[in-house]
Amino acid sequence: MIKLLTIIGARPQIIKAAALSRAIKNKFQKAIQEVIVHTGQHYDENMSQVFFDELQIPSPDYNLNTGSGSHGKQTASMITGIEEILLKEKPNAIVLYGDTNSTLAGAIAASKIQVPVIHIEAGLRSYNKSMPEEINRIMCDHVSTLLFSPTKAGYENLLKEGFKSNNHAPYSFDNPKIYHCGDVMYDNSLHFSEVAEEKTTVLKHNNLKAGGFILATIHRNNNTDEPLRLNALFRALNAIATENKTKIVLPLHPRTAKLLPVNLDPELYTQVQANGYIQIIPPVSFLEIIALEKNASMVITDSGGVQKEAFFFQKPCIILRSETEWVELVECGSARITDADEIKIKEAYKHFSSAKSLNFPRLFGDGRAAEFICGEVLKYIN
Ligand code: UD1
Ligand code: UDP
């Protein structure tokens, strides 16, 4: 039996971790013990607890209750807490997801005391270091022992950074093993999509019809914190909704909810609030967002996870960023990068509204990435 210490903290990590916890419960219970540490980076009920209930993730064994703060303060506090737990629990490895400050804290705490790091969602790059996430993921990859990339592009990024495809066991952070293994989020979307509409009332509650609305999410720090960008994004949404009499549903991240009244031009803010076609709602649960994604006509987002889920459910996606780590979506034409450019967003909307057929090849594995990861971990972590 090996012991894995899983670090979660932000909403997408809690969701990603569900896939591995499910695989362990169903197939590897006798071989893997999982200890879950919640850093407390996200803490609102609808940013954290809702996912444990709905996705049947075991309750965290520890909660560091870190909360919000500057990058340094937040990350430092998590490193201290994670180190203490690592010393006490003595796991065989730490499991880290994605690219948040919780990921970075886990990578630093574990690697400094030589606990092997398993990085799930390794290799993704935006090649834009002004994104805090780009720094987090690069740092984490370069102290990892097993690196699981969900995409071929991610795997190739690792090769470009000097990782080798032909290292031999025993693996370590000086001799790491890299994989292209599919996406645990695809596992989750497949697993939960069948019951999403049946188990939620989000469509009915918000009076939404299949194909009759656009789903939008905005939370990326440069979009929320830079007034010029935030205004451009909301001018575009306001215009698309009004000119096309199209409903836009916007489950709003708390970061954006806090900054909207501060950074949006007051006149535009009033217009958005008064626009009957724009429905701003609190963050929704995972089953609810799947129901929204499956039934939307289009997705407009700056989220990494939502971009991909739009693709899983074969919906066109407008990406409100200057680049994406999920380059395949853009390459196959089902997503367009518009940045926070009002004109480009409107053009992309027009393009996708009249697009006859779009291409959604199977790029993210077979829905069993988590099982594969558990199998490989058992081979090489002891
Ligand atoms: C973080 C991640 C980002 C990820 C996102 C997922 C980092 C650097 N960023 O961004 O990569 O895409 O999570 O959602 O780790 N807040 C609340 N309640 C909460 C959580 C946050 O009100 O439960 C508010 C606070 O005002 C906080 C702000 O949101 O200051 C930002 O939270 P934080 O976790 O620092 O970053 P995110 O923008 O959520
Ligand atoms: N999500 C959710 N409810 C919401 C918005 C997003 O459950 O109201 C899910 C979404 O389906 C995806 C994950 O949260 O699986 C993405 O998280 P987020 O957009 O916060 O972060 P990112 O993926 O950009 O890091």
132 with 264, same domain: the answer is no
Query: Do 97 and 197 fall into the same domain?
Result: no
User: Quick check: CB of 258 below 6 Å from ligand 1?
Assistant: yes
197 and 129 housed in the same domain: no
Residue 235 lies in a domain: yes
Classify residue 360: in a domain, yes or no. Answer: no
pLDDT at 374: 98
pLDDT (tens digit, 0 to 9) for every residue of the chain, 382 residues total? 999 999 999 999 999 999 999 999 999 999 999 999 999 999 999 999 999 989 999 999 999 999 999 999 999 999 999 999 999 999 999 999 999 999 999 999 999 999 999 999 999 999 999 999 999 999 999 999 999 999 999 999 999 999 999 999 999 999 999 999 999 999 999 999 999 999 999 999 999 999 999 999 999 999 999 999 999 999 999 999 999 999 999 999 999 999 999 999 999 999 999 999 999 999 999 999 999 999 999 999 999 999 999 999 999 999 999 999 999 999 999 999 999 999 999 999 999 999 989 999 999 999 999 999 999 999 999 9
Residue 303 C-alpha to ligand 2 middle, in angstroms?
Answer: 7
- pLDDT for 88 equals 98
As a whole number of angstroms, the distance between CA 139 and CA 251 comes to: 31
pLDDT at 356: 87
Number of DSSP helices (H) and strands (E) in the chain, helices first: 17, 13
pTM for this prediction: 0.98
- Domain span including residue 231: 190-354
pLDDT of residue 176: 98
| 359 belongs to a structural domain | no
CA of 305 to the centre of ligand 2 (A): 6
Domain tally for the chain? 2
- Please work out whether the CB of residue 100 comes within 6 Å of at least one atom of ligand 1: yes
Are 203 and 283 contained in the same domain? yes
Q: Is 306 in the pocket of ligand 2 (CB under 6 A)?
A: yes
Q: Are 277 and 137 contained in the same domain?
A: no
351 assigned to active site? no
- Residue 14 and residue 116 in one domain: yes
Asked, for residue 22, whether it belongs to a domain, the answer is yes
DSSP string, 94-144: EEEETTSHHHHHHHHHHHHTTPPEEEETTT---S-TTSHHHHHHHHHHTT-
Ligand 1, atom nearest to 221 Cα: 38
Which of 96, 100, 289 is the best mutation target for the ligand 2 pocket, counting ligand atoms within 8 Å of the beta carbon and taking the most? 289
Whether 27 maps to a domain, the answer reads yes
Q: Is the CB of 45 under 6 A from ligand 1?
A: no
At 214 the pLDDT is 98
> Of ligand 2's atoms, which has the minimum distance to the CA of residue 284?
8
Based on the domain organization, do 173 and 198 belong to the same domain? Answer: no
Ligand nearest to the CA of 305: 2
Q: Is the CB of 220 under 6 A from ligand 1?
A: no
Which token pair is 303? 């989220």
What distance in angstroms lies between residue 302's CA and the mean position of ligand 1's atoms? 14
Interval between CA 212 and ligand 1 midpoint (Å): 30
Contacts of residue 307, defined as CB under 8 A and 6 or more positions apart, other chains included, come to: 299, 301, 317, 319, 324, 326, 329, 335
Q: Starting from the edge strand earliest in sequence, which strands make up the sheet with 335-337, in order?
A: 278-281, 247-251, 213-217, 298-301, 317-319, 335-337
Q: Does residue 203 line the site of ligand 2, with CB under 6 A? A: no
Ligand 1: residue of 104, 252, 255 to mutate (most ligand atoms within 8 A of CB) is 255
CATH of the domain at 327: 3.40.50.2000
214 and 230 part of one domain: yes
Distance 93 CA to ligand 2 centre (A): 26
Question: Which residues have C-beta within 8 Å of that of residue 141, sequence separation ≥ 6?
Answer: 119, 122, 123, 147, 158, 161, 163
Q: Is the CB of 17 under 6 A from ligand 2?
A: no
What distance in angstroms lies between residue 155's CA and the mean position of ligand 1's atoms? 27
Q: Looking at the structure, tell me whether residues 267 and 225 fall in a common domain.
A: yes
The answer to whether residues 250 and 335 belong to one domain is: yes
Radius of gyration over every alpha carbon of the chain, rounded to an integer in angstroms: 20
Distance between CA atoms of residues 302 and 304, nearest Å: 7
Q: Which of 205, 219, 253, 351 is catalytic?
A: 219
The atom of ligand 1 lying closest to the CA of 305 is: 12
Does the beta carbon of 124 lie inside 6 Å of ligand 2?
no
Q: Specify the ligand 1 atom closest to the Cα of 220.
A: 38
Nearest to 145 by CA among 113, 172, 123: 172
Q: Do the domain assignments include residue 133?
A: yes
Domain assignment present for residue 135? The answer is: yes
Is the same domain home to 344 and 369? no
Looking only at the bridges linking them, the beta strands covering 247-251 and 317-319 are unpaired
What is the atom index within ligand 1 of the atom nearest the CA of 255? 29
Residue 177 and residue 79 share a domain: yes
Tell me, what's the pLDDT at 131? 97
Say which amino acid occupies 17.
Answer: A
